[in-house]
Structure 1
């Protein structure tokens, strides 16, 4: 998930990089930016922060299959080549598939190690996915070198389908620092029990923040992320309002008199009857909000778009 603020009126994010990274660290990927250690080497050569393959000495090209941490609709992809200036992959493509979990073969974890290629047995198992015939989201495209002004390679994806896995092809070999897959989650609701309680705003199911007043220290999407928070970085924190009075006073009911409020608007993953709401302020010690309220409404897609344009 991105922390880039988009403050002000209710507005739809125009830049797909402000959507959810469906392969982020909270669901299995890396959220930190690539780093470079000038004098660090391994027994296999220069240490690089990313995926780098050896120089190709056999026919073919290199590729990998990635299971998305969040299943859903992909809007855009960022292929980050940071620090791979002389060894970057010159071309790449992206394929995708929507796989039934029950039909995916049991693939042993490869772990994180360098200096080794897939074994014939591992190739045999992964070939059962027939990933070379998956649909193309991004055709073979040239990449720019990993210099500071050209390291990010952005690709828009024009697809309304739900995806669970992607295949990254590099031609013929080389290095890539980070792969970001931006989009919105989408649950398969046909297999859901209508009577079973479910988190309707969860990112993993398709919930998303469509607007907010302030996101100085963290994006509201963090609140509806996957799993339990590990620190304040996993929540939403706004900048302190500069229009607050120098001395706070309370009214006759004991409530503090402070101007304005901060807000965030979410679109639920699916219409439903809300029976319980949980507000978790864990790790916010001394900077949690004094109070909050939650409003709800029913909007059609067109009504939401009309409000966004206001």
Structure 2
């Protein structure tokens, strides 16, 4: 039985938009079905870029629109589509964006979701070119196997706020800890939606992993998340733990130039800048574990990569993490264990380092990447082995040395 989620609530610029869009085509999101794609196909909903508008461009079916737009309905019912998420996990909120749909947006929407077990998806016909088309009897029969009418409502039927011409964001909070794989967007009765963003946190089934195969323990797709940073002027640190390689300089963490740099820069004997200032970002691992290999990718950061970096790890309970967030990560130095000492970086290059982890008992729950003095990093990968560790209550004694086990529980 699914949890009863709280009712969707409109908001403006909520924090959840810093999370990953689990439906985006850039992470493998896919449109499985749409009742109608007459003016513009549902695939536009999950584009990773912002919607555009071409004032004087038309197709043979009507005005060109960058979104999903159905014909004016003249039969009973309403339009809807089904999206298979590229990243499975916990949904924290939605953005129903109707930018540029001034006279044709869908006046009401609702959103449902389901967890469909791996391999239980019906065999859906290939959608192909959809503009001007409606769902075929074969598609309707195939999607009926999902029984999406019965899926849980994360957003009940709600009126859409048209907002401004180029900024029609409608944000909805979600109060549910369920793991979801599919969503169904309903529009009432017809109309257009530019983009649907499904923001959340990835969640991996750790019990199904090979205990001998190292995994990226900080990946956002598995549940890793940035929980603090010193500066994110040009890009949030969560982008560093995104899916796949970086796509551009915008797809990474980048800080402003520090104003406390020395007027004239000098190097030490190892070629590292002699500056005392560091920028940093702290991550909660997707699963506690032992980090054995570190990858830091500065691709696309050609004139703005950091001079050097270092990486530290620690073990924190959830309560301790909450305290650290409030205290801006003023964690005593002795709590951090060094995984990578200060190390020179090169621009536009992928760097791989071996962790200083000496024992397979060196479990961490959080990692802190520090860069000197400032700059940008496209990707951070912390490969290693997950390990069970109790985080349900504050530590009263120093952390015990734990050994890696082949089997472990995924629910901490």
Give the TM-score normalised by structure 1: 0.91
- Measured after TM superposition, the shift of residue 99 of structure 1 is 0.8
The equivalent position to 2:254 in structure 1, one of 237, 253, 258, is: 237
Q: Distance in 2 between matches of 1:228 and 1:254?
A: 28
Q: 1:24·1:31 contact (CA, 8 Å) conserved in 2?
A: yes
Aligned residues: 298
- Per-residue deviation, 1:14: 6.5
Quick check: 2:229–2:237 contact (8 Å CA) kept in 1? yes
Higher strand proportion (structure 1 or 2) = 2
- Which one of the candidate residues 201, 204, 207 is aligned to 2:218? 201
| Residue 57 (structure 1) aligned with residue 57 (structure 2) | no
Counterpart Cα distance in 1 of 2:284 and 2:191? 40
Of the three residues 279, 283, 288, the one matched with 2:296 is 279
Q: Does 1:296 align with 2:313?
A: yes
CA RMSD of aligned residues (A): 1.8
CA–CA distance in 1 between the matches of 2:23 and 2:289? 27
Which aligned pairs between 1:72-111 and structure 2 lie closer than 5 A? 72-111=89-128
| Partner Cα distance (2:50, 2:14) in 1 | 22
Q: Give CA deviations for 1:127-170 in whole Å, capped at 9, x if unaligned.
A: 11111100110111111225348721111101001101000001
Name the structure 2 match of 1:126: 143
* Paired residues of 2:18 and 2:236 also in contact (CA < 8 A): no
Alignment correspondent of 1:223: 240
Q: Is the 8 A contact 1:62 1:170 kept in 2?
A: yes
Cα contact 1:86–1:145 (8 A) shared by 2? no
Q: Taking structure 1 as reference, are residues 97 and 258 closer, same or farther at Cα in structure 2, changes over 3 Å only? A: same
Which segment is superposed worse, 299-308 or 23-32? 23-32
Distance in structure 1 (CA, Å) of the matches to 2:24 and 2:283: 20
Return 5+ residue gaps in structure 2 as ranges.
1-12, 30-45, 328-412
Task: Show the counterpart of 2:227.
Answer: 210
The Cα shift of 1:252 comes to 6.0
* Partner of residue 177, structure 2: 160
Residue of structure 2 in register with 1:48 after alignment: 65
Contact map agreement 2:18 2:238 (CA 8 A) in 1: no
Residues 232-261 of structure 1 deviation map (CA, whole Å, 9 limit, x = unaligned): 222222221122122112346654222311
Secondary structure in 2 matching 1:65: strand
CA contact (8 A) 2:266 2:274 kept: yes
Measured in 1, the distance between the counterparts of 2:325 and 2:256 equals 23
Deviation (angstroms), 1:203: 1.0
Q: 1:31 corresponds to which residue?
A: 48
Bigger Rg, structure 1 or 2? 2
Q: Unmatched 5+ residue regions in structure 1?
A: 1-12
Structure 1 residues 214-238: Cα deviation after superposition (integer angstroms, max 9, x where no partner): 2222221121111122322222222
1:91–1:257 CA distance, 2 compared to 1 (3 A): same
CA positional deviation for 1:26: 2.2
**Within 5 Å, which residues of 2 pair with 1:243-262?**
243-251=260-268, 255-262=272-279
For the Cα contact (< 8 Å) 2:272–2:307, is it kept in 1? no
Q: Normalising by the residue count of structure 2, what TM-score does the alignment of the two structures yield?
A: 0.69
Q: Say which structure, 1 or 2, has more relative contact order (CA 8 Å, 6+ apart).
A: 1
**Contact conserved, 2:99 with 2:166, CA < 8 A, in 1?**
no
